[in-house]
Amino acid sequence: MTSAPTTEPGLTTSPPQTPGEAPGRVAPRPRRVVPLWGWLVAVVVIWWVASRIGDGRAVLYLPGQETTDFQDRFTDLKADLIAGRDTNVLMQVVGAVSDAFNGVVEQLQGLVSTPDLPRPVPQIGWLGVLGIAGWVSLAIAGWRHALGTMASLAAVGLLGYWVDGMDTLIITFFSVAVSLALGLPLAVWMGTSRRVNAVVTPVLDVLQTFPAFVYLAPMALFFSLGPAIAVAVTVLYALPPVVRISAHALRSVSETTIEATTSLGQTGWQRLIKVQLPMARPSIIVGVNQTMMAALSISVIAGFVNGPGLGKPVLRALTAGSNQVGVAFIAGASIVFIAIMLDRVTTAASERSELVARGGGGNRRTHRIVLAVAGAAALVSVYVSRTYFSFAEFPDTEVGPKVAEAVQSATDWTTSHFSGLTTGVQETVTTVFINPLQDLVAGSPWFVTGLALIVLSQLLAGWRGALSSLACLTGIYVTDLWYDAMVTLTSVLVATLFVMVVAVVLGVWMARRRLVDRLLRPLLDAAQVMPSFVYLIPVLALFGPGRFTAIVAAFIYAVPVATKLVADGVRQVSETTVEAATAAGSTPWQLITKVQLPMARGNLVLAANQGLLFVLAMVVIGGLVGGGALGYDSVLGFSRGEFFGKGVSAGIAIVLLGIMVDRVARGAAERDRSAPGLLARLRTRTPAHHLS
């Protein structure tokens, strides 16, 4: 056993003392002659000087409408793949999968969303859908949630997005079904075989650092645009949470229980079916919930690749500019309704199924009777919706346009009255933070920036961090999108900086005041359920299209997760330590800065890591609203065939940026050795609140 290393110098309230060292203890690391921050400042200063000398040369800028050989190779590859559609085995497999997906989606659309020819309307009209959805919610989650579900769906219809809403649900549910069909067996395999677990876990790790957006491009290489690619992308993105959580749950079934039941002579199969799966069930349901929310979130983004659903109207409105904010708002609101509905119902269902499994949950007979009656009502509603046209097609109401109009005028009013304020904020942040940093990062010669980033990685995360940064930067160089990547990196760094400042302030506040925690936490939880897309809308309304909007949206998107991490970290600092420090006469400020924050440093680094990844995901989506750089390149790749290769290259660059940022933050976290286990726990992106 090695004895626990002593605290990092600089963390403790008093400097570490060497004399009187207890025998056998590892001596504390010698204090660095120059502290870490000194090195960091030195590197930045040298970097800045070099960038002045470089004066805008060798920045590897590639104009938006130009492509390079490397990028064109993907465009050609796609052309080749399409040309070889009938001969290439891979393409045939993809084609078959694609046809199957399209077929299922079409069937489901005929069932609930689009006219099922020769019928002028779908098989089941809106009333029938309400009836069935309500009944299912009643059965799995209780009557309150049944009402909530019906209200949410009706709201979507009233806003005028019934068909798109149905499509979104179709893509989401179908993708979740496929994810579970693939993911659960894989999870079982991982849960029962150490080796498989060791192989698959790092793959999932990497997959989960990718922003949702980058799944689109490689898929578009094989699939043609439409429902199939939306499903494929959604499945790929939604798979990791359920696999990871279920496998973890299976692996963490109590060793004693397994041993005890094995001692009674069970077979391996009996162990899985009778012991491991039932004991892991609650966590598996949490995994399903996360998978569903992830699926919803990306099925909206799949509007980019012409996936059916609410993504498309949002996208259209967003790209149409600021006079469409009202429309974007009501489409976004529909997404929010659906997100909340799915989250609430699946969460309630998991809680309730626990209750029922334990023989609770009220009188079963009564429950059965209620279900039967409600089922009959649902059937009647289906019948009615098949018989009367006005119950089949959601009636056009004025609600949607009116709300849109109201929001639009409110927005216009705000922007005209507060434009001074918003422009002020925008200009200040741009001139004080964004521009200087961009001059430094993107405006230096590429080799200077590259070297500086590698050195910084070494300082923060050690040699392994430096090595992975070297590899990632090399990759980015190869994609010929160096300048754009550096601009994106700038946005990411600025947004993350603000995220961390706000997260620390709010997090400390939450940790120190129960009331604040009670008020803020539900908000943060709800915010984490939202698909990233919807965050763009209000920000766009306030600041108009541009790089700044992307940064602000990213900031808003990342704040909840980071804040919760900080709050949990500070809260974890042991009562005794806090008491001891208070007894020693610390002021609250000293308590925070000298005890609570340093001791929560592991969580702070984690918050930064998560913040970076969330921000990156959003900054990229911001390409849509004039965020420029890599995001713009990706969007361009989808919208114009000749830029496909550039879009793919941008996707690669984004992935590399993500890996680089993640490795450095993670390396720093591991060096900190405060909370390494937390990282694994956090690799579940969407609503993290279920895990805490």
Partner 1 sequence: MSESSPALQVDGLWKIFGQRADKVIGTPDALLSRADLKAKNGCVTAVKDVSFDVAPGEVFVVMGLSGSGKSTLVRCLTRLIEPTAGQITIDGEDVTKASESQLRELRRHKVSMVFQHFGLLPHRQVIDNVAYGLEVRGVKKAQRRQQAGDLVDLVGLTGYDESYPDQLSGGMQQRVGLARALANDPAILLFDEPFSALDPLIRRDMQNEVVRLQAELKKTMVFVTHDLQEALKLGDRILIMRDGEIVQIGRPAEVVARPVDDYVRDFVSDVPRSHVLTLEYVMRAPTPEDSREGPVMSMDTIVRQAAQAALASAHPVQVVSDGKLVGIVDDDAILRVVVAEESVPTAPTKQAV
Footprint of partner 1 (CB under 8 A): 254, 256-267, 270, 274-275, 278-279, 281, 357-359
Residue 195 or residue 514: which is nearer to partner 1 going by CB? 195
Residue 30 or residue 265: which is nearer to partner 1 going by CB? 265
Residue 3 or residue 17: which is nearer to partner 1 going by CB? 3
At closest approach, how far in Å is the CB of 271 from partner 1? 9
Residue 261 or residue 319: which is nearer to partner 1 going by CB? 261
Residue 136 or residue 272: which is nearer to partner 1 going by CB? 272
Longest dimension (CA), the chain: 90
For 384-445, give the secondary structure using H, E and C: HHHHCHHHCCCCCCCHHHHHHHHHHHHHHHHHHHHHHHHHHHHHHHHHHHHHHHHHHHCCCC
284's CB contacts (< 8 A; 6+ apart) are 184, 187, 242, 245, 246, 249, 277
At closest approach, how far in Å is the CB of 265 from partner 1? 3
Question: CB-side exposure of 486: number of CA atoms within 13 Å?
Answer: 29
At closest approach, how far in Å is the CB of 261 from partner 1? 6
At closest approach, how far in Å is the CB of 164 from partner 1? 41
From its phi and psi, is residue 364 left (phi > 0), alpha (psi between -120 and 50) or beta? Answer: alpha
At closest approach, how far in Å is the CB of 267 from partner 1? 7
At closest approach, how far in Å is the CB of 256 from partner 1? 4
Alpha-carbon torsion angle 108, 114, 116, 118, nearest 10? -170
Residue 86 or residue 259: which is nearer to partner 1 going by CB? 259
Residue 278 or residue 641: which is nearer to partner 1 going by CB? 278
At closest approach, how far in Å is the CB of 190 from partner 1? 22
Residue 27 or residue 264: which is nearer to partner 1 going by CB? 264
Residue 670 tokens read as: 């591991």
At closest approach, how far in Å is the CB of 264 from partner 1? 4
- Per DSSP, helices labelled H in 55-193 are 69-83, 89-112, 126-141, 143-158, 162-192
Instruction: Report CA-CA distances (Å) from 604 to 25, 198, 498, 568, 680.
Output: 28, 27, 14, 10, 15
At closest approach, how far in Å is the CB of 279 from partner 1? 6
493's CB contacts (< 8 A; 6+ apart) are 437, 441
66's CB contacts (< 8 A; 6+ apart) are none
Residue 253 or residue 455: which is nearer to partner 1 going by CB? 253
Residue 163 or residue 275: which is nearer to partner 1 going by CB? 275
Contact 292, 690 (CB under 8 A): no
Scan for tokens 């004991």, then name that residue. Answer: 279
Residue 1 tokens read as: 């056993």
At closest approach, how far in Å is the CB of 522 from partner 1? 28
- Per DSSP, helices labelled H in 594-643 are 597-599, 601-621, 629-639
What three-state secondary structure class fits 111?
helix
The number of beta carbons lying within 10 Å of the beta carbon of residue 101 is 23
Handedness of CA 29, 33, 38, 43 (dihedral sign): negative
Contact 253, 271 (CB under 8 A): no
Handedness of CA 283, 285, 291, 294 (dihedral sign): negative
Residue 278 or residue 362: which is nearer to partner 1 going by CB? 278
Residues 382-412 as b or e (16 or more Cβ within 10 Å = b):
bebbbeeeebbbbeeeeebbebbeebbeebe
Residue 349 or residue 529: which is nearer to partner 1 going by CB? 349
At closest approach, how far in Å is the CB of 200 from partner 1? 24
At closest approach, how far in Å is the CB of 167 from partner 1? 38
